[in-house]
Amino acid sequence: MTTSRYYRIGQIVPSSNTTMETEIPAILRARELLEPERFTFHSSRMRMKQVTRDELAAMDADSDRCALELSDAHVDVLGYACLVAIMSMGHGYHRLSEQRLYQRTLENGCPVPVVTSAGALVTGLQAIGAKKVAILTPYMKPLTKLVIDYIESEGIEVVDSISLEIADNLEVGRQDPRAPIEITRKLNTNGVDAIVASACVQMPSLPSIQPIEDRTGLPVISSSVATTYQMLKRLGLKTAVPGFGSLLSGRY
- Which residues belong to the active site? 82, 200
Q: How far apart are CA 67 and CA 108, in angstroms?
A: 9
Rounded Cα gap, residues 13 and 116, in angstroms: 11
Q: Which of 237, 247, 245 is nearest to 77 (CA)?
A: 237
Alpha-carbon gap, residue 169 to 16, rounded angstroms: 6
Phi, psi (rounded to 5 degrees) for 80: -90, 105
Annotated binding-site residues for substrate read 17, 82-84, 139, 169, 201-202
Burial of residue 10, with CB atoms counted within 10 A of its CB: 0-12 exposed, 13-18 middle, 19 or more buried: buried
Measured CA to CA, the distance from residue 119 to residue 97 in angstroms comes to 10
Nearest CA to 117 among 6, 52, 21?
A: 21
Query: CB-hemisphere CA count at 13 Å for 142?
Result: 5
**H or E stretch covering 207:** none
* Sheet arrangement for strand 194-198: 157-163, 132-137, 194-198, 220-222
201 and 12 in contact (C-beta within 8 Å)?
A: no
